[in-house]
Amino acid sequence: MEGKMPVFLEKHDQELMRKKNRMLVFNSIQQHHPISRTDIARLSGMSAATVGRVVADLIELGLVKETDQISGGVGRKATMLELNLESIMTVGIEVDRNLTKVALVDLSGRIIVENQQLIDQNEKQLDNLIDAIVRLVAEMAAEQGIPHSKFIGAGVGLPGIIDSEQGVVVFSAQLGWRNVPFAERLEARLNMPVVLDNDLKVKALGESSFRSLDVIPAETVENITALVSIGSGLGAALIMNQKIYRGSRNIAGEIGHSIIDPNGKLCECGKRGCLQTYITDLALLQEANQIREVSSLQELFRYMEQGEPWAKSIIDRACSYIAITINNVVCTYNPNSIILTGKFIEEHPGMFEAVNLKLQEFIGEHFSGSFEMFRSKLGERSVMIGAAKLVLQQQIDYGLVHKS
Ligand SMILES: [Zn+2]
């Protein structure tokens, strides 16, 4: 019987490889269409035979179509591949403490139309929130003339610990939810499949799928993107070979609760000295308020620009902690690229560079050339686009829904 085990493993590996290849080929068509099979093979490092097989799958799924075009400057006719933009539509949703954003996203990852709704305390009630989402989707679909049958699903990114397999919000401090079966509830009302995940994880998925092939050489064995976000919370997310890396309970990346001082400040998680007690906006404002009344990060930045030494010192220390965080992520995961994002980085044009400078101090010489660091490319839309991408990924992995 011993011989059976490896056969099973092999099959499992093949399945994983097939999914990985599909996503890789789809991403290269998404980024470079129209593109020939030969160019996909060159970009992805796959054999021509594998590319041919995967492309046939994607055509079968209705996601890709062939088109005759002149390729390159040679003037030779080649069969090119295009996205089948007419075939499907997805919904990308971001639910946050005060705001819910909804977008209709096409196969290329482009937002066709978007809308948002402020959520007051009352609307945090599940039914009201779901009503708002259903209404926004229906309004936008009607306005764009998109029939319901075209929608293959909706993806939702929200803050907190999410059981993505069951579609349950296990715990969200920001929303005040515990064990909420959000996917099931929304699915029943939207009448389409719904997938859920943590907002940073879908953000990372969105950002990475629009840049991976630009920066990662085909021969790279593992393609790892790490997203580090500093704002009202502190977190990270990893994309490995096109997929969200979740760990066993989907909490991989919760670096905000890594402990750096057992005698430090009390954290919302009940432990002392968590990293996030030093660098979230709340922590910085608390510190600032010991000197002067400061009510927002913007105001703190203003004091720094006016040359106030205390403001400079608070921000300088935050930059050091962020650089240390990045160093720790690099040591642990050895990513090819890091996307640095969040309010602290995005609300002041100088912070990205300030952290970059600090990195020279905190990153070991053997690690410093191992990754490139980027700003967010999709900005405020990244969660919606990433959530829509999650839906598409399910479609590509499992061929769940219809094809037209
Ligand atoms: Zn904590």
Q: What is the DSSP string of 251-309?
A: -TT-GGG-BS-TTS-B-TTS-BSBTHHHHSHHHHHHHHTTTS---SHHHHHHHHHTT-H
Q: What per-residue confidence (pLDDT) applies to 191?
A: 95
Quote the tokens at residue 331. Answer: 């040591």
Cα 208 to ligand 1 centroid, rounded to whole Å: 27
Phi, psi of 84 (to 5 degrees): -90, 75
Evaluate whether residue 290 is within a structural domain. yes
Q: What per-residue confidence (pLDDT) applies to 277?
A: 92
Evaluate whether residue 403 is within a structural domain. no
Residues 230 and 247: beta-carbon distance below 8 Å: no
Whether residue 146 sits in one domain with residue 44: no
Cα 258 to ligand 1 centroid, rounded to whole Å: 7
Cα 256 to ligand 1 centroid, rounded to whole Å: 6
Domain C-terminal end among 39, 64, 83: 83
Evaluate whether residue 210 is within a structural domain. no
Cα 105 to ligand 1 centroid, rounded to whole Å: 35
Evaluate whether residue 39 is within a structural domain. yes
Beta bridge partners of 234: 230
Neighbours of 263 (CB within 10 A): 6
Whether residue 223 sits in one domain with residue 300: yes
Whether residue 355 sits in one domain with residue 321: yes
Cα 260 to ligand 1 centroid, rounded to whole Å: 10
Residues 6+ apart with CB under 8 A from 330: 226, 338, 363, 367, 370, 371
Cα 184 to ligand 1 centroid, rounded to whole Å: 30
Task: List the CATH number of the domain containing 70.
Answer: 1.10.10.10
Task: List the CATH number of the domain containing 103.
Answer: 3.30.420.40
Cα 370 to ligand 1 centroid, rounded to whole Å: 29
Domain C-terminal end among 38, 64, 83: 83
Q: How far is CA 400 from the centre of its chain?
A: 22
Structural domain containing residue 302: 216-376
Evaluate whether residue 404 is within a structural domain. no
Q: Please give the Cα distance from 388 to 203 (Å, whole number).
A: 10
Cα 233 to ligand 1 centroid, rounded to whole Å: 10
Report how many domains make up the chain: 3
Q: Please give the Cα distance from 380 to 378 (Å, whole number).
A: 6
Exposure on the CB side of residue 380, measured as CA atoms within 13 A: 10
pLDDT (tens digit, 9 = 90+) per residue, 319-361? 999 999 999 999 999 998 999 999 999 999 899 999 999 999 9
Whether residue 284 sits in one domain with residue 266: yes
Whether residue 271 sits in one domain with residue 126: no
For residue 362, what is the enclosing H or E element? helix 351-362
Cα 264 to ligand 1 centroid, rounded to whole Å: 11
Evaluate whether residue 190 is within a structural domain. yes
Cα 277 to ligand 1 centroid, rounded to whole Å: 7
Cα 228 to ligand 1 centroid, rounded to whole Å: 17
Cα 257 to ligand 1 centroid, rounded to whole Å: 4
Domain C-terminal end among 39, 68, 83: 83
Evaluate whether residue 334 is within a structural domain. yes
Cα 200 to ligand 1 centroid, rounded to whole Å: 17
Q: One-letter amino acid identity for 298?
A: Q
Ion ligand 1 contact residues with beta carbon within 5 A: 257, 267, 269, 271, 274
Cα 300 to ligand 1 centroid, rounded to whole Å: 24
Quote the tokens at residue 194. Answer: 């719904």
CA angle 176, 181, 185 (to 5 degrees): 110
Helix (H, G, I), strand (E, B) or coil at 4: helix
Residue from 381, 380, 400, 383 nearest 392 by CA: 400
Evaluate whether residue 344 is within a structural domain. yes
Whether residue 21 sits in one domain with residue 76: yes
Whether residue 174 sits in one domain with residue 237: no
What string of DSSP letters covers 127-188? HHHHHHHHHHHHHHHHHHT--GGGEEEEEEEESSEEETTTTEEEEETTTTEEEE-HHHHHHH
Cα 259 to ligand 1 centroid, rounded to whole Å: 7
Whether residue 131 sits in one domain with residue 78: no
Whether residue 118 sits in one domain with residue 78: no
Cα 270 to ligand 1 centroid, rounded to whole Å: 6
Whether residue 365 sits in one domain with residue 222: yes
Cα 267 to ligand 1 centroid, rounded to whole Å: 5
Residue from 308, 319, 324, 321 nearest 345 by CA: 319
Q: What per-residue confidence (pLDDT) applies to 216?
A: 44
Cα 268 to ligand 1 centroid, rounded to whole Å: 6
Whether residue 185 sits in one domain with residue 43: no
Q: What is the DSSP letter of 87?
A: T
Cα 255 to ligand 1 centroid, rounded to whole Å: 9
Q: Please give the Cα distance from 53 to 194 (Å, whole number).
A: 29
Whether residue 256 sits in one domain with residue 371: yes
Which residues in the chain show pLDDT less than 70? 1-11, 69-77, 121-124, 211-222, 399-404
Cα 382 to ligand 1 centroid, rounded to whole Å: 26
